[in-house]
Chains A and B, each alone.
Chain A
Amino acid sequence: MILAVLFANSEGNILVERFNGVPAEERLHWRSFLVKLGADNLKGVKNEELLVASHKSVYIVYTVLGDVSVYVVGKDEYDELALAEVIFVITSAVKDVCGKLPTERLFLDKYGRICLTLDEIIWKIFFSSGLELMELLDGHCDILALIGYHCDLRSV
Chain B
Amino acid sequence: MAQPLVKKDDDRDDEVDYSPFLGIEKGAVLQEARVFNDPQLDPRRCSQVITKLLYLLNQGETFTKVEATEVFFAVTKLFQSRDMGLRRMVYVIIKELSPSADEVIIVTSSLMKDMTSKTDMYRANAIRVLCRITDGTLLTQIERYLKQAIVDKNPVVASAALVSGIHLLQTNPEIVKRWSNEVQEAVQSRAALVQFHALALLHQIRQNDRLAVNKLVSSLTRGSVRSPLAQCLLIRYTSQVIRESTNDTQTGDRPFYDFLEGCLRHKAEMVIFEAARAITELNGVTSRELTPAITVLQLFLSSSKPVLRFAAVRTLNKVAMSHPTAVTNCNIDMESLISDQNRSIATLAITTLLKTGNESSVDRLMKQITNFMSDIADEFKIVVVDAIRSLCLKFPLKHRSLMNFLSNILREEGGFEYKKAIVDSIVILIRDIPEAKESGLLHLCEFIEDCEFTYLSTQILHFLGIEGPKTSDPSKYIRYIYNRVHLENATVRAGAVSTLAKFGAMVDGLKPRIFVLLRRCLFDNDDEVRDRATLYLNTLGGDGAVVETDEGVKEFLFGSLDVPLVNLENSLKNYDPSEKAFDINSVPKDVKTQPLAEKKATSKKPTGLGAPPPGPPSTVDAYEKLLSSIPEFTSFGKLFKSSAPVELTEAETEYAVNVVKHIFDGHVVFQYNCTNTIPEQLLENVTVIVDASEAEEFAEVASKPLRQLPYDSPGQTFVAFEKPEGVSAVGKFSNMLRFIVKEVDPSTGEAEDDGVEDEYQLEDLELVAADYMLKVGVSNFRNAWESMGVDFERVDEYGLGPRDSLAEAVNAVINLLGMQPCEGTEVVPPNSRSHTCLLSGVYLGNVKVLVRLQFGLDGPKDVAMKLAVRSEDETVSDTIHEIVASG
Residues in B whose Cβ lies below 8 Å from that of A35: none
User: A79-B311, A119-B95 known; A52 and B268 CB under 8 Å?
Assistant: no
Known: A52-B342, A55-B379, A125-B167. A136 touches B92 (CB 8 A): no
Q: B288 in the interface, Cβ–Cβ < 8 Å?
A: no
Contact partner of B156 among A18, A111, A138, CB < 8 A?
A: A138
B-contact 0/1 string along A43-74, CB 8 Å cutoff: 00000011111111110010000010000000
Q: What B residues does A120 contact at CB under 8 A?
A: 88, 125
**Does residue A23 face the partner (Cβ distance < 8 Å to B)?**
yes
Residues of B within 8 A of A108 (CB): 2, 19-21
CA of A23 to CA of B282 in the docked complex: distance in angstroms? 34
The 8 Å CB contact of B200, one of A16, A84, A133, A156, is A133
Measured between beta carbons, the chain A residues less than 8 angstroms from B379 are: 55-56
What per-residue 1/0 map shows which CB atoms of A115-150 lie under 8 Å from chain B?
A: 110011000111111100101111100001001100
Query: Would you call A81 and B51 a contact (CB within 8 A)?
Result: no
B236 partner, pick from A15, A104, A128, beta carbons under 8 A:
A128
Find out whether the CB atom of B311 lies under 8 angstroms from the CB atom of A126. Answer: no
Assess whether B203 is in contact with A128, with CB atoms less than 8 Å apart: yes
Inter-chain CA distance A126–B98, complex, in Å, is 19
Check A128/B307 contact, CB under 8 A, given A85-B270, A119-B92: no
Question: Which residues of chain B have C-beta atoms less than 8 A from A125's C-beta?
Answer: 163, 166-167, 197, 200
Q: Provide the residues of chain A in CB contact with B204, threshold 8 Å.
A: 126-128
Chain A residue with the shortest CB-CB distance to B609: A56
In the bound complex, what is the Cα–Cα distance between A104 and B17 (angstroms)?
9
Q: Is the CB of A15 within 8 A of B2?
A: yes
A14 touches B59 (CB 8 A): yes
Contact of B228 among A128, A130, A151 (CB under 8 A): A151
For A29, give the chain B residue with the smallest CB separation: B608
CB distance from B746 to the nearest CB of A (A): 18
Q: Does B428 have its Cβ within 8 Å of any Cβ on chain A?
A: no
Residues in A whose Cβ lies below 8 Å from that of B141: none
1/0 contact string of B152-170 vs chain A (CB within 8 Å): 0001100110010011011
Q: Could you tell me if A115 and B16 are in contact, using CB atoms closer than 8 angstroms? A: no
Set B16, B166, B342, B604: member contacting A51, Cβ < 8 A? B342
B2 in contact with A151 (CB, 8 Å): no
Whether the Cβ atoms of A112 and B269 lie closer than 8 Å is no
Residues of A with C-beta under 8 A to B227: 151
Q: Assess whether B156 is in contact with A144, with CB atoms less than 8 Å apart.
A: yes
Do residues A81 and B270 form an inter-chain contact, with CB atoms below 8 A?
Answer: yes
Asked if B609 and A57 make an inter-chain contact with CB atoms under 8 angstroms apart, the answer reads yes
Q: Mark A73-103, 1 if CB is under 8 A from B, else 0.
A: 0000101111011000000000000000001
Q: Does B196 contact A (CB under 8 A)?
A: yes
Are the CB atoms of A52 and B344 closer together than 8 Å? yes
Q: Which of A3, A104, A151 contacts B229 (CB 8 A)?
A: A151
Query: Within 8 Å CB of B804, what residues of A?
Result: none
The chain A residue with its CB closest to the CB of B383 is A54
> Contact at A126–B307, with CB atoms within 8 Å?
no
Please state if B344 and A137 are interface contacts (CB–CB under 8 Å).
no
Contact A116 B89 (CB under 8 A): yes
Q: Which of B127-157 contact A (CB under 8 A)?
A: 128, 155-156
Q: Which among B121, B236, B274 is the interface contact of A139 at CB below 8 angstroms?
A: B121
Measured in the bound complex, the distance between the Cα atoms of B125 and A26 in whole Å is 31
Q: In the complex, are the beta carbons of B2 and A111 less than 8 A apart?
A: no
Contacts of B273 in A (CB 8 A): 81
Contact, CB under 8 Å: B307 / A111: no
B203 lies within 8 A of A153 (CB):
no
- Chain A residues within an 8 Å CB radius of B609: 26, 56-58
Q: Known contacts A23-B605, A106-B15, A108-B2: does B307 contact A61 (CB below 8 Å)? A: yes
CB distance from B106 to the nearest CB of A (A): 21
B244 to chain A, nearest CB (A): 13
Contact A139 B19 (CB under 8 A): no
Give the interface size bracket for A toward B. Answer: 35 or more
Q: Which residues of A contact B20 (CB under 8 A)?
A: 105, 108-109, 111
Are A152 and B228 within 8 A (Cβ)? yes
Bound state CA distance, A125 and B204, in angstroms?
Answer: 11
Q: Known contacts A85-B229, A103-B16, A151-B268; is A139 also within 8 Å of B2 by CB?
A: no
Inter-chain CA distance A77–B200, complex, in Å, is 13
Which residue of chain B has the shortest Cβ distance to A17 in the bound complex?
A: B58
Q: Which residues of A contact B18 (CB under 8 A)?
A: 105
In the bound complex, what is the Cα–Cα distance between A53 and B128 (angstroms)? Answer: 33
Q: Interface centre among A111, A124, A138, by most B CB within 10 Å?
A: A111
Which residues of A have CB within 8 Å of B163? 125, 135, 137
* Residues on B with beta carbons closer than 8 Å to the beta carbon of A23: 604-605, 607-608
Q: Is the CB of B50 within 8 A of A112?
A: yes
Q: Judge whether B307 and A136 touch: CB under 8 Å.
A: no
* Nearest residue, chain A, Cβ from B207: A128
CA–CA, A95 and B310, complex, Å: 26
Question: Are A22 and B229 in contact, with the CB atoms below 8 A?
Answer: no
Determine the chain A residues whose CB is within 8 A of the CB of B155 once the complex forms. 144
- Taking the closest CB of chain A, its distance from the CB of B602, in whole angstroms, is 11
What's the minimum C-beta distance from A23 to chain B, rounded to whole angstroms? 5
In the bound complex, CA of A57 to CA of B196 (Å): 26
A58 to B271, CA, bound (A): 21
B192→A152 contact, CB < 8 A: no
Contact with A along B505-523 (1 / 0, CB 8 A): 0000000000000000000
State the CA gap A139–B342 with chains docked (Å): 36
Contact A111 B236 (CB under 8 A): no
Q: Does A32 contact B (CB under 8 A)?
A: no
Contact across chains for B2 and A104 when beta carbons are under 8 A apart: yes
A144 to B227, CA, bound (A): 13
Q: Across the interface, do B311 and A115 meet the contact criterion of CB distance under 8 Å?
A: no
Is there an interface contact between B193 and A127, defined as CB atoms closer than 8 Å? no
- Are A52 and B310 in contact, with the CB atoms below 8 A? yes
Chain B residues whose CB sits within 8 angstroms of the CB of A153 once the complex forms: 268-270, 305
Q: Across the interface, do B311 and A128 meet the contact criterion of CB distance under 8 Å?
A: no
CA distance A49 to B311 in the complex (A): 16
Expressed in whole angstroms, the minimum distance between the Cβ of B733 and any Cβ of chain A is 36
Bound-state Cα–Cα, A61 to B305, Å: 12
- Across the interface, B311 reaches (CB within 8 A) one of A80, A111, A135, namely A80
Contact A67 B228 (CB under 8 A): no
CA distance A153 to B304 in the complex (A): 13
Within 8 A of A (CB), among B93-115: 95
Complex Cα–Cα for A51 and B609 (A): 22
**Which of B2, B310, B342 meets A14, CB within 8 Å?**
B2
Q: Does B568 contact A (CB under 8 A)?
A: no
Name 11 A/B residue pairs within 8 A (Cβ), A-sorted. Answer: A21-B608, A49-B306, A52-B306, A57-B609, A112-B47, A128-B207, A135-B197, A137-B197, A152-B267, A153-B269, A156-B307
Residues of B within 8 A of A (CB): 1-3, 15-16, 18-21, 47-48, 50-51, 54-55, 58-60, 88-89, 91-92, 95, 121, 124-125, 128, 155-156, 159-160, 163, 166-167, 169-170, 191-193, 196-197, 200, 203-204, 207, 227-229, 233, 236-237, 240, 267-271, 273-274, 305-308, 310-311, 314, 342-345, 379, 604-605, 607-609
With A52-B310, A53-B344, A138-B156 known, 5 other A-B pairs at CB within 8 A are A23-B604, A23-B605, A57-B609, A126-B170, A139-B125
Across the A-B interface, the 4 shortest Cβ-Cβ residue pairs: A112-B51, A152-B268, A21-B607, A105-B15
